[in-house]
Structure 1
């Protein structure tokens, strides 16, 4: 990825039959090398401005050290929002960050981005600069740092190419890396889909045997025998056995929609919702697996799970940050007879 960014070659060239996401380093800007140089210069400008503010803050603290009426001191006993508003009114950084900490944050980014001794850029710092720049635009815009908007535009262009390629620079790498990162999440989703399908099947089976007392009695008898055997096995097992499993600890709390409010007219219809709170890296990995799983050698000849239009839409989606979400829906084909 580093070589693609700093090279003068067109990274996105050779679009294979209208599939731009299939090339190495897809999303990387064609003038990434120049943008990287601009990024380093703009980062230095922001760092120098924050340093001057930090020096002024140190002088003010030294001068007013005996003054009990510092705006921040007055706000310490107030609510957090009032503290932030007082700090903003006083021309201080948002939150509990001082100018000294803010300078240290930007100085580290400047130093890590470009190694003066080796004359080499560290492209892994691009997302961090983008995040830091976006934070200051949102929370410290009152500081009026010159060039911050320009830095945001440059870092955003670079981050849009770097972040997706951190999980592989081509589809096969994305699939391999994504399957490792999101392995447990994918397994959990598949298990939940299977359990939901099984639950619907069991509900349908109970409905079909509801008016057959012999079958119902037999079903309940088997269920009692199963639970009795589970209890006996659990009781007979050694309490000191480290491998023994407490069945109660693995019971799952299930929440079903209230039919009155969910507009569910069929009493046999079950609507379940599962929420998975995860990280940006897992969202990227999950999407990469869904997009490129057909490239696995064991699935030779299989078609993609995602159509070309959807893949193109995902390719144009540049950011999967806070509050990004994926919705996976499973439908039941009611036209298929479950019990012939």
Structure 2
């Protein structure tokens, strides 16, 4: 299949954005922000600008508050310095003709004592995630450490977190982003409310009912859309993720109920994270069809796609865009490589989190690599 015939390379309207292709750069935590303050920097601006040929860039997750942080060196979007740092990124991407949205993040219980004055992350219920997060010690070296038992959020606490998302969305637009994506996936705070395994509340946000489980997600979506505009707002969801104590028997009807409610709000897109480990379950077509029926906006899928699988899911009508994560790390010109069948470079897994330019912004486009090895 050539670039001219593959649906990957057909333009698409996403709200007010004219995308030249269906190729999305997926959000990936890279932990390169400047310290102190978790401030986006010139290195990050270079990294994203190098990948501006994507139809759309979704940035790494950016915490909406200090409370929302769970990993070292991840950028925030709650201080003026962070806003100015992100403005440098958006200006660099726009100068290269790209489009970029900021992913808004609160990790909930997927955190560590070092990020909290009282040593306690927050969550819907006081249940540990049975998971680890990446934390840098006093020596500056990052290590995977256990997440503690969190503190259950009170109803006023929940309202405050919704307010944090609202302010973060306003800050993102002030920083020049083309839109925002709410991180509702992968076992983080919104996902924790959506699942009976992590939400054992008995109040209005109860895990016992569809309405209770989805209430927080809908409140966050409304707050974010009030600042960014629904037409510039998306949400990422992960119904088939089971790690981190998130294996919930009610998650599929919950996701479909949430999708119907988000459709009514006019949200621009949903971003579906598919399990991408070796023995992960296949996404049944029945679910894909049900999601299409529940939600009429644009759908992005992500999870170990190559050009062939991406073209197929688009041709089948189960998605409008496909997000590529790790292939974008070592291949800043990924759309061109996919279009022309050029070989993909491998990334250095040791350089994923933290560090400087090595394994981050020092990957070259195909022509430069070919010349260097000729």
- The TM-score range, normalised by the shorter chain, is under 0.3
Larger Rg: 1
More strand by share: 2
Compare the two structures and name the one with the higher helix fraction: 1
What TM-score comes out, normalization by structure 1 length?
A: 0.24
